[in-house]
Amino acid sequence: MPILPAERDPRLITVRRGGTLTAEHHRLLAEWAALCAEHVMHLFDEEQPRDTRPRDAIEAGRAWVRGEVRMGDARRAAFAANAAARGLPDPARFAALAAGQAAAVAHVAAHDLGAAAYSIRAVGASASAGEVGAARVREREWQRERLPAEVRELVLDDQRSRSPICWNVFDD
């Protein structure tokens, strides 16, 4: 299921590509996405403690934020994290996919919601049957509390807009 809309929001396209997203705000989105993915990485580590690809992807995203790696390097790390997800139980799989999405923010800023959505799905998948909804809400609220003020309204608006294609994990 695609988590990027068919028509992209210009607020999530960088200025250099014809949108209105500043480089500073792009970096803030990437750091927030890394934080979201990192928060659930223990779910992957419990299943695959020796596989570093998802953690490497998160670090590649952060290295891109710091200007230490190129976008293509972060993008390759995203593909590796996605590959690490294959065949795993849902909590670990979703955590690895969150890491892949976080690294992919360097390439397409709108992947920030992918990192957040997969993190919420990972937490929900790890909860007991009667706790899934509450666990997802707690994770969503944890993420929102950590949104940088400079991009908060943009992200919240994007969550309202794209929640239907992100498994409705952002619905209030």
**pLDDT of res. 3:** 83
> In this predicted model, what pLDDT tens digit does every residue of 83-127 receive, in sequence order?
999 999 999 999 999 999 999 999 999 999 999 999 999 999 999
Residue 6 pLDDT level (bands cut at 50, 70, 90): confident
**pLDDT of res. 40:** 98
- Exposed, middle or buried by CB within 10 Å (0-12, 13-18, 19+), for 29? buried
**pLDDT of res. 2:** 66
